Structure 1
Amino acid sequence: MSKKPQENETIGFIGLGMMGHGIAKNIVEKGYPLTVIAHRNRTPVDDLIARGASEAPSLAELAARSSVVFLCVTGSPEVEAAVRRPGGLAAHLQPGSIVVDCSSSDPSSTVQLAAELKAKGIDFADAPLSRTPKEAWEGTLDTMVGAQDAVFARLRPILDTWAGKIVHIGGVGDGHRMKLLNNFISLGYGALYAEALALADRVGISADRVDSVIRGGRMDCGFYQTFMKFTLEGDRDAHKFSLANAFKDLRYLESMANGAGLVNPVGNAVKNAYAVAVAAGGAADYVPMLPAYVDGLNGGDTKN
């Protein structure tokens, strides 16, 4: 275990899912006092307690114990509820605290929450994530941070416990704006791969033959490799990002484009590729499973 950090920060963590569990594990193992709260699944809570974390029975108690609270939840509705609800963070954090949203959230919501908390003397930062649960566990995630300079400087040692690449994008909301751009690019790849693989199958070219051309060439990348790990090997855990979350992020992107007055036909096309899959019952499936839903649009079997 790393030496205990000198910073006098106490950390609260909300959202111990596939990404949050690994992040929280690195925070507590690298010496920060950590308080967590259970939601539906006790397994990550019990694991973190065994590593030295403590459990709070309520958001109010977690806030009372914490100078910095991380949220790693589904999106803006869940973040807003944790902050605004009676007994939530806004009501119980002390002035001088920081709320850090690691979720993929709507930037307009982020900016509004930051203003509400600032009025109470509480700072807000957005630090959404890139990469997978594997890197979360290893402490090598990417994060793109929106925060005032002083807030970012204070957070940096904590972010260092779980991120290998940390980019300070700009002010509050800019991290979430950049995350939506990042996911537009990556999920755009996913939509292209899905349609290309479905078409290849229809014209008699197997996925492994497609891969033999793409892999190692100019069109190869890390996203492609984890996507294809499911296609070629059937590894359902290779790229654990749900179609429902993909669709949600692309709706946030559409809202951001609308707010900026930008016509974004490619973004809408990508969004609709995931909308079709979710409407067909694929919400809980992962992004690499999208080709089956493209095939289903054309009379094929959507079962994975």
Structure 2
Amino acid sequence: MARDVVGFVGVGLMGHGMAKNILGAGFEMHVIAHRNRGPVDDLVGQGAQEASSLADLAAAASIIHICAPGSPQVEAIVTSLLPTLAEGSVIVDCSTSDPTSTAKLADILGEKGCFMADAPLGGTPVQAEAGELATMVGASDDTFTRIKPVLDAWAGTIVHMGDVGAGHKMKLLNNMLAMGYAAMYSEALALSEKVGITTEQFDSVIRGSRMDCGFYQTFMGYAVEGNAEAHKFTITNALKDMRYLEAMADSVNLANPVGNAIKNSLAMAHADGGDGPENYVPHLVDYVAKRNGVTRS
């Protein structure tokens, strides 16, 4: 059986590193430009082929990765790929998407004899470049077996969660925890400053304790050190994910007051100017402080 040819839509912060590592593993790669030509030019320089359209990319590749902001964009991309997809092709959605949308796309692809897998990402752009991302995969056993050699090229940790949609469900749960940390840290630091304990003093107690974790360290990379790019995940995307989480809870009639509180903290920051492309989740600390009349020291 011929080796799969890989297509990649969305070679941005995460996608560039992923595509680079797939190329490094010896797969033929086809990419397409969006707003920023830099990553595409770099990948072409390393041996990738540039497609002029999504239709051309679909005709050339048999396993197509998508890294997009959310389900509306993924749906539009799949709609454009569908007419020229060959029977047996696999779409791998690496976005953090709505599991309901993922299931619908799987049905649409299935009608053409194609397959869907969801493989959302855990990690940072630095880990993407190093081929050390984590992924939680939703796919049939046969599809998972087929795509795993490609996943191995860009992921250090791969967990097959179950059938299509299971990866996206787990990713939303993961992001609930992460964004919950962000909301709690932001509120705790605002209260800390308000009662006379500086951010640095707060950090000196928490860092290295049982309350420390990897997310705490990247979050405090901004709160303490002022590194605005310590965790490059936007407030806009975080809010989108918490809305998907809310919809997932609603779909099974589950009360999720904590998830709603996290969503509302992000929504208030988003409405207060945190909707820009360089407004990252650790910046939530500033919006929560501002809302409470706190000047962080």
TM-score computed with the length of structure 1 as normaliser: 0.95
1:203 maps to what in 2? Answer: 195
Letter in 2 for 1:125: A
* 2:232 is equivalent to residue 240 of structure 1: yes
> Displacement, 1:300?
4.5
Aligned length: 294
SS at match of 1:40: coil
Residues 131-163 of structure 1: per-residue CA shift (max 9 Å, x gap): 111100100000000000010001111000010
Task: Name the CA distance, whole Å, in 2 between partners of 1:180 and 1:159.
Answer: 20
Task: Name the CA distance, whole Å, in 2 between partners of 1:283 and 1:218.
Answer: 33
SS at match of 1:282: coil
1:39 maps to what in 2? Answer: 34
Match of 2:107 among 101, 105, 115: 115
2:164 maps to what in 1? Answer: 172
* 2:284 is equivalent to residue 287 of structure 1: no
1:25 maps to what in 2? Answer: 20
Q: Which runs of 5+ in 2 are unaligned?
A: none
Task: Name the CA distance, whole Å, in 1 between partners of 2:221 and 2:290.
Answer: 21
1:130 maps to what in 2? Answer: 122
Task: Name the CA distance, whole Å, in 1 between partners of 2:32 and 2:190.
Answer: 43
Equivalent residues in 2 for 1:66-85, closer than 5 Å: 66-84=61-79
Task: Name the CA distance, whole Å, in 1 between partners of 2:124 and 2:2.
Answer: 28
The runs of at least 4 aligned residues of structure 1 exceeding 2 Å deviation read 299-302
Task: Name the CA distance, whole Å, in 2 between partners of 1:11 and 1:52.
Answer: 13
Match of 2:248 among 251, 256, 262: 256
Distance 1:281 1:301, change over 3 A: farther
Task: Name the CA distance, whole Å, in 1 between partners of 2:69 and 2:14.
Answer: 11
Letter in 2 for 1:47: D
Task: Name the CA distance, whole Å, in 1 between partners of 2:31 and 2:53.
Answer: 10
Residues 72-117 of structure 1: per-residue CA shift (max 9 Å, x gap): 0100000000011xxx111111001100000000000000000000
> Displacement, 1:206?
1.2
Task: Name the CA distance, whole Å, in 2 between partners of 1:282 and 1:83.
Answer: 30
Task: Name the CA distance, whole Å, in 2 between partners of 1:202 and 1:299.
Answer: 9
